Structure 1
Amino acid sequence: MDGEDSQLPTAVTFWIQTFALPLSCVMFKVGSGCSTDSAACDCDGNVTPDVHGFLVYTDPNLVPVNGSTKSSTTRLLAGTYRLCWWRFEVSEAQYVEESDFLTGTGLLVVRGPFPNQSSECYVGAQCVVVGLQGAKLAQDDLLLPMQLCGTPNMSSVFPNPQPISAAFTESHELVFDFGVLPTNTSPEKLQLCWCASRSSCILLEDFRATAMTLEVVCPPGTYELLSIDLQCQECPPGYFCPGGQTAELRQCPEARTSPPRSSAEGHCQCRRGTYWDAESGSCRPCLIGSYKNRTGGTEFCQSCPVGTTTLDTGAIALHECYCANNYLDMNLDPERFDCTEQASPSLLSAQVQIMNHWMCPDKLKRTSSLALLKGLARVSLALSAASGRLDYEITSSDAELATELHAKFDQAQLEASQIADVPMAQKLQAAAAKRAPQVCGTGSFCHGGDHREACPLSTSTLVLTASSVADCVCAAGHFGFEVCEECPAGRFKDLVGQGECSPCPIGTWSNVTGAVSDGPCTPCVSGSTTEFTGSWTEDLCIRPHGEQRVDCTTGAGCEVQIDGFNLQDGHRLLISQTDCGGRKVAVLGVADTGMSEAASEDGSLYAFSDFVPFAGNYHLCWCANMNDLACVEEEDFQISAGDLRVLGPFGNQKFSCVRGRDCTGFQVQGIGLSQGRRVAVRSDCGTESTLHLSPANPDGSGLLQGVEQFTLDFGSSQDGIDHSVSLDESEGYTLCWCGVWPCDPQDFVVPFGQLVVEGPRKNQEVSCAAGQPCALTEILGQLRPGDRIMVLAACGTGSAISGFPGGGIAEVVDLPEQAARYKVATSK
């Protein structure tokens, strides 16, 4: 740029929100200088005198051009333009062509009136401008009549111009009312200058944008008198003046005339003495013997009275009629004729009188009266209570009513009763105590005297005073009648007698024989139980074997087969992230907080519903779900059945793609992965709704590639096959895994991570106002230094404008506070 005029340009600066940070500053100034260097421009518009480029709008494209310190204010033409984006990669060539800008960011809408509009107002008349057309015009927009927009040059029609706001018609058209124009002013061509609402519209120079040209012209019926000052003069008779921009004085056609202030040829009518001949299309004179005393094309010539004629054609009045054939007019009234031969004159006259008669009708008056009948029936009741009786008095004007009430008070006795407390009698008896003799003792019998003998082995006595061996019965821990045997394992007997041994309760077991109490009944391990009482071995405690190993694939359903001791239908399993002996942590992605359905096939088969957990190794915790061991809470699953290995991808994986680029080469981590497994990009997993990832990938699906290390590819572009990402920018679409084969759209049920799409957000719309400094706000997206934006009529097909610095490309640069902005690249 050496050698050019050292001029301060009109600058274009984009400050763009990136990586979900707050929008620091968004500025696009047109018409006020601002450097595009981050060190030379701030949000307050402070600049350095470096040479840079700026943008000027023309129809139909947003065209970048060179700027200088002496350049005039840039004009923005209303319209819609496209912002096209490209991601810079270090591995790619530094030179960028217009066709590289394939990714649409959105639209730049320039608010304001469309160009080349005009309107017309008349001198001395109300000046109302209707139907202003433009892009996103608002009712609060202002129009200012000036000789030249953006300057202090005022017009003669509006020597003290005031901004006018708009109103809306019933048809939603904008209306600007400038009031009645002065009658003594001269016709003038001026400009209506526009300033957007919410803009700085204080100074005359703020109204830079021309909304339309306003022609202040002579009104119809007047013409311009060319003199030192143009004046609108009244159109004289015999002429017509259409007014408007030409304001000519035009003469009526031959034999026609017009009243003053005539504005159209149609106002020119046939003169007196002529009539309109439609066949010839002209005014022709009245024939001899007729006349026409009015102007107008629809009037016909009237014939002279009987016996009279005219001297020539074109008679204009009755007085041109005279008696023919040398007759004499004997009537002195000029409008009446009495053509008489000279030998017999006569005079006739008559008078008529009309009488008026007025009649007044009589007035009639009527009266009426209304009689009101009033009636009221009353009843009263008085009660009084005395000792032993109840007194009442009924008073009513209705005898029947009084009788009915009296019947309701028939005599009734009131009785009272009293119950007295009767005291209860008591009686004491005295008992005598006697001293007992010495007993024989337990386990012995005595014949009398000093005899005392022990019972046989395994027997004992029920009383202390047994007198014979027949009194000896089975001892505790033994049962039988003739022969006493030890209680078998799983049973006990704690009493002496011929009764049976008692079984160990459910949930316990014992391998001890001859047990004299329930002490040997050992409880099963916590969480286990027995089906029946009297269990004689621990193997009868129902429970699974420990340390079993099973596999399931996430997204494909899960049925677990296990072995154990005396398993039966109805048991349940819980998948836990922690050991079964402590506090369980349920696994996400399994129905019923990780609990299985009730076991089947004799307690060996367990099925889990909606099985979509992340890949990993988990604990299988077992619950009996029988007797009093219900499987309701996670803590009810106390016994380990082993481990479950879930095959599939690990959770919370995150990858990034760039809009307009292929989306490939992401390394996926997991357990038991295999080539050909499918992944889809979705808003939600498990639905048939798909996302259009790229033109060649309408369902957003990708494949795992590899043997030991697996990468995820969503397709590579080739000739005629476009896999560049067209999906909108987002901080995270859901990656959904399919665990079955083949995969239908609803089979992608496992959400295992996110796909971030970087770049600017689609369908953004930013706006600025024509003739005003332009601030582009809320350009959103995930951007980074080196990203570039170009303004084209169509992304990927536009061409650079000759002379624009840097080819018309805006680039993101590093800024403080982790913000990013676009700057216009300067030429070297």
Structure 2
Amino acid sequence: MTWCVFCQQGSYQDQPGSTSCKYCPKGTHQPNQGGITCEICPVGQFSALANSSQCLQCPNGTYQDQPGSSYCVPCPAGTYQPNEGKITCEVCPVGQYNDLKGNSQCFECPIGKYQNQTGSSQCVSCPKGTYQPKEGEISCEICPVGQFSALADSSQCLQCPNGTYQDQPGSSFCVPCPAGTYQPDEGKITCELCPVGQFSALANSPRSLTKGCLECPNGTYQDQPGSSFCVPCPKGTYQPDEGTITCEICPVGQYSPLTGNLQCFLCPSGTYQDQPGSSYCVSCPKGTYQPYLEKETYGQSSCVNCSVGHYQNGSGQTSCLVCSGDTFQDEVGQATCKDCTGFSMCYNKEKTMCYSLTTQIMSYESFGIFRGNLSPTNCKQLCWSDARCEGFTVSSIEEVTVSKRGDGKNRETISQEQCYTSDSSDVYPNENYTSYTFPPECHE
């Protein structure tokens, strides 16, 4: 006699008289023997194989919301499931993300990123001008003034370097200090004005990155703060030092013909300058001169008048000329000489005086020897040849000076009466001299 056998777990038979059992299909199971049906896997479970005696719970990271399933569904990106046998997935909270399917957990957003939405598969980069130093945050921090963030995903802001500033929060850059300013420190919201006597010609110049502005070079000045340039010293001024706020005025006797001079120049010979702050020297006028001197003695504030006996008819001269021919000059600072011509005119050797000789007879001596009487023409010629015209100087109405015969040096004063009565061989009286005095300049 043949016995019937129970269908094993995982199988069933719903028909009588069967010689075999049927396998429970995927998504079902049969935990008992002798089953006539299979049980459907409940939600949150699955049966991946036929002939299963039990359903398995969906592992973490997956879910199943349908009964009779042969598989579990991976949690999509942006969700997670830390537990088994679940019919849904959990949404990633704000500040976290899940970029893969089937994860059992979400991840905190890294530094430099944030997420303010739930169920996100990725984090958002902090934009330029912001930063986030912590993980799992829902927003980014704004860079404060004096700082910047030039790149996205920044975990910190950087201080503005020296030579720059930033007075606005949330900036992705720093502003170069404009010309005329500087900033020696980091993280500043303003730039410093260049002080007087200094300048900054370029924005963010190398100097502005270190110690400050440049000093105005010699020959220039700056009396205003915050300047991008220095002012050349005008004509007539100079500046030998750096970093000054004014220029020096050229003293008298000196000049500065160009702008930006480091020094003034001494007026050369033939010129002068009697006014301070001049850009030129004045040529000595006619009748004057300025002698050629050693270089260190140049720079005069006035010219020298031509002396008597001299003249100068040109300007800017270094010497005067001696009166020539029948001319003389008895005044200083003259451009011409005076005429001394005519039958009875006589000038001295120095050409400083001109005399009108009378028609009277005069005595003279030459080389210490008495030569006799001569006319005005003869005396004039002897004056020019350095002879001596010996005039009779009247001391009083009663006395005249006479020359004795002989060596001509033995002279004495005698009365007019003696002069008239003296022996002609002893003296040479001349009554016409009682009112005449011959110019001493004709004497040696």
TM-score greater than 0.5 by the shorter chain: no
Question: Relative contact order: is structure 1 or structure 2 higher (C-alpha 8 Å, sep ≥ 6)?
Answer: 1
